Amino acid sequence: MEAIQVLFCQNRVFIASFVAWFLAQFLKGIFVFARNKRFNFERFVGPGGMPSSHSAFVASLVVSIGNAEGWHQPITALAVIFGLIVMYDAAGVRWAAGKQAAVLNKIVDDIYHDGRVREDRLRELLGHTPVEVLAGALLGITVAALFF
């Protein structure tokens, strides 16, 4: 139990990364509320949207580890590689999966309106545009810089 308390209360790398993730999720909800003039709880916790919380989290993780351990350390290189993979996945693979979900949902809607089949709709907002990933990364870098 002490290890969990140390991680959540004393580990600045973890805290900075968590704060960056939380701020990104909070900003998503605020941006959707400002645009649609209605509250959508899913935007506070769900994937996709502006800014990318995945990118904010890993960018803050990279900068925090680099600042805490040194930019020449192997653990920093590992964090950079991990961060690049996460951001590539957020902008590439998951974005494509979201576009496929939209097409499949259209097909299901067309079938449903003909009275044949009703299936659950797939989640379409899975990934991020490159701008959303960049915005998340900048948010994460900023938060990490504030902690270190």
Name the residue among 54, 56, 60, 57 with its Cα closest to residue 94.
Answer: 54
Is pLDDT above 60 for 1? yes
Q: What is the largest CA-CA distance in the chain?
A: 62
The larger pLDDT score, comparing residue 115 to residue 8, is at: 8
pLDDT for 49-98, tens place per residue? 788 888 999 999 999 999 999 999 999 999 999 999 988 887 776 667 76
Task: State residue 81's pLDDT score.
Answer: 95
Name the residue among 64, 52, 66, 62 with its Cα closest to residue 21.
Answer: 52
- Give pairs for 109-113: CB < 8 Å, separation 24+: none
pLDDT for 99-135, tens place per residue? 777 777 777 776 667 665 555 655 555 567 778 888 8
The larger pLDDT score, comparing residue 45 to residue 35, is at: 35
The larger pLDDT score, comparing residue 14 to residue 87, is at: 14
Give me the phi and psi of 41, to 5 degrees please: -60, -35
Q: What is the mean pLDDT of residues 10-30?
A: 93
* Cα–Cα–Cα angle for 12, 50, 27, rounded to 5 degrees: 55
Helix (H/G/I), strand (E/B), else coil: 55:
helix
Task: State residue 66's pLDDT score.
Answer: 96
The larger pLDDT score, comparing residue 7 to residue 21, is at: 21
With a threshold of 0.85, does the pTM exceed it? Answer: no
Task: State residue 119's pLDDT score.
Answer: 57
